[in-house]
Amino acid sequence: MDKPLHLDQQSLVQAWQQQLPEMIGPGDSTMVQADNANPQAINVHINAAGHQKYGFDFRCTYKDTRELDVALVDVDMAGRSIDEHSATVQELVDDYMRHIHECAQVLHHITDPS
């Protein structure tokens, strides 16, 4: 374990709100919110572009200033929860998780300024 994250959650949310839309595909939309249960975590919602109307919820928890744990919380289609194990959905989940990790790397100067 590296150094614990010492950044207020609102600043973290703000940084993610600015950076994440640049990391994901055109037409996709994002919403980043503080995780009220954990000051080291944020919740990310991504609406996928396209007529399937997929929505993805991820919990992103900073283990320290360098390591981000990303967990899929829910997948919905037009507002209803669906099984996330289909190949199409799994491919989107993997893609979004990669973009989330890339965003964390870009924001490293904020989370680990030393």
Q: Is the pTM of this model over 0.85?
A: yes
Residue 22: band (very low, low, confident or very high) from pLDDT cuts 50, 70, 90: very high
For residue 48, CA distances in Å to 4, 23, 88 come to: 32, 13, 12
CA distance 89 to 92: 5
pLDDT, one tens digit per residue, over 73-107 is: 999 998 898 988 899 899 999 999 999 999 999 99
Domains of the chain (ranges; CATH) run 9-107 (3.30.310)
- Asked if 39 contacts 58 with a C-beta cutoff of 8 angstroms, the reply is no
Structure tokens at 16: 């993610």
